[in-house]
Structure 1
Amino acid sequence: MHSTANTLLVTGGGSGIGRALAEAFLALGNEVIIAGRRESVLKQVTAANPGLHYVVLDIADAADVQRVAAELIARYPRLNAVIHSAGIMRSENLLAGDSALDDTVATNLLGPLRLDRALLPHFLQQPHAAIVTVSSGLAFLPLALTPSYCATKAAVHSYSQSLRYQLKDTAVKVHELAPPYVQTELMGERQANDPHAMPLKEFIAEVMGIFEHSPEAEEILVERVKPLRFAEANGNYAGFFKQFNDQMAAARAGE
């Protein structure tokens, strides 16, 4: 993906990784539009970042995705890139019947697929374009406390590979960003302040370095996510999976 000269849409751009990426690309001179459900939040972010634009979008609503995509193409004819940063992550106790499946699938999986379907014909007309999916290190080694989230991110990884292959002879590049555990409010204030999570500024700095110096990279992987990404290839997957989930379950029980 070119790090400059883009008109870029960032979903989930009101907070966390989405907002930080939007600000980073804006600082490089790109035209950036952030999208999210809460207009009040989007207004605050754009007020703090002159030149940043916003659009209200419910990524889980198929009709809204179609409407907003058409509006964006009309308003920004040079739109050529999207970063799918909108997402939800919730703990689930499946034994107790506690499931966030429907909301999680609609937001994390169906939303990006529907938005790509709406934007792709326009992207194919651009001199260069990019689709950046956002999976997770947990797509490769799941956290059992959040099964629906991990399942959607594994699906995003699979989808990214298929999409990349189908677009291989076009000017549209597909990049998969797989974050590690980062200090955001994805699962609340505890995560945002967890010293075990990667500081957001460090994560963004490393990610932007990859975009700038390795624009053809298919997977955007910071060093801290690589143990999860390559857990199976590195051997002893079963042991690592158990150790990882036992540690996470113990930490949650101690809260």
Structure 2
Amino acid sequence: MNLSNRTVLIVGGTSGIGLALARRFAAAGSTVAVGGRNAEALKELSAEGIGTFAIDVTDGASVARARDAVIARYPELDTVVTMSGVMIMEDLRDPAHFEAAQTTIDTNLVGTIRVTDAFTPHLIRRGSGTFVTVTSGIAFLPFPPMPTYAASKAAVHAYSEALRAQLDGTGVGVVELVPPAVASAGQEKVNPHALPLDDYVTEAMQLLSQDPTPDEILVERVLMHRWAERDGTYDDLVAQRSQALAMLPGRQG
């Protein structure tokens, strides 16, 4: 993927990995727009010269309005990155976790589907373009304190595979970004071994720039997650990660 001449929309790009990607694409010479719910962050990005659009991926009408506004302003749009996501710990012994599960699925999975559905006709009409979906190492190696997050990201992986197959021959590609734990959005507090954000984005951009671009963007740190089952380490790693269940409020003390 040539990173220097694209027109990129990053949905969920007001913080963390999405924000860092937006700035890297812009620095590489691409035209960049960001969609999100944080009005103050959008205002700051607009001051940097990045296009901004209000969008709530849990609201179909909001997604449709944002799509229309983006395409009107950037008819040459060729890359759509679906970054919006939430990461919530849940204690499955407590039925009250269900609200968190619903929020997670509606944002991480259904939100991804809403965004890709919204822009698929545009990219197909162009005859070229790329969707970049975002999963996680946790999609392949669950982190037990975040069960629905893991399930939602595993579902986005499967959906991305199917989307790629269905769009084959249209000129529209699907690239899956698979981050490990990255030191953003407070993850460094949960995992002191999280990969520094700048290091992650540097490696991810290098992989994105390859020709051909890999179907999955797998930085070195996430390989142990992605291939745990293949390598025979899955059961031991899940058992190790299950020790983190002690972090849940109801299990402390």
Q: What is the TM-score with the length of structure 2 in the denominator?
A: 0.92
For 1:28, the equivalent position in structure 2 comes to 28
- Relative distance call for 1:251 and 1:101 in structure 2 (3 A) is closer
Q: What is the TM-score with the length of structure 1 in the denominator?
A: 0.92
The answer to whether the 8 A contact 1:42-1:54 is kept is yes
2-structure distance, mates of 1:202, 1:152 = 25
**Residues 58-87 of structure 1: CA deviation (Å, up to 9, x unaligned):** 111111111211221122110111111111
- Give, in angstroms, the shift of residue 250 of structure 1: 4.9
Tell which deviates more after alignment, 158-167 or 213-222.
213-222
DSSP-derived class of the 2:229 partner: coil
The answer to whether the 8 A contact 2:183-2:194 is kept is yes
Q: Which runs of 4+ in 1 moved over 6 A?
A: 251-255
Residue 121 (structure 1) aligned with residue 117 (structure 2) = no
- Relative distance call for 1:44 and 1:103 in structure 2 (3 A) is same
For 1:204, the equivalent position in structure 2 comes to 201
For 1:71, the equivalent position in structure 2 comes to 69
- Give, in angstroms, the shift of residue 195 of structure 1: 3.3
2-structure distance, mates of 1:167, 1:128 = 10
1-structure distance, mates of 2:57, 2:178 = 20
Q: Between Structure 1 and Structure 2, how many residues are aligned?
A: 249
- Relative distance call for 1:197 and 1:216 in structure 2 (3 A) is same
Tell which deviates more after alignment, 15-24 or 69-78.
69-78
Equivalent residues in 2 for 1:123-202, closer than 5 Å: 123-185=123-185, 190-191=189-190, 194-202=191-199
- Relative distance call for 1:215 and 1:52 in structure 2 (3 A) is farther
2-structure distance, mates of 1:6, 1:186 = 30
**Residues 153-186 of structure 1: CA deviation (Å, up to 9, x unaligned):** 0000000100111112121110000000000015
The answer to whether the 8 A contact 1:80-1:129 is kept is yes
The answer to whether the 8 A contact 1:36-1:56 is kept is yes
- Quote the RMSD (CA, aligned, Å): 1.8
- Give, in angstroms, the shift of residue 138 of structure 1: 0.3
The answer to whether the 8 A contact 2:127-2:170 is kept is no
For 2:59, the equivalent position in structure 1 comes to 61
For 1:231, the equivalent position in structure 2 comes to 228
1-structure distance, mates of 2:63, 2:145 = 30
The amino acid that maps onto 2:241 is F
Q: 2:245 aligns with which of 229, 235, 249?
A: 249
Sequence identity percentage: 41
- Give, in angstroms, the shift of residue 251 of structure 1: 6.3
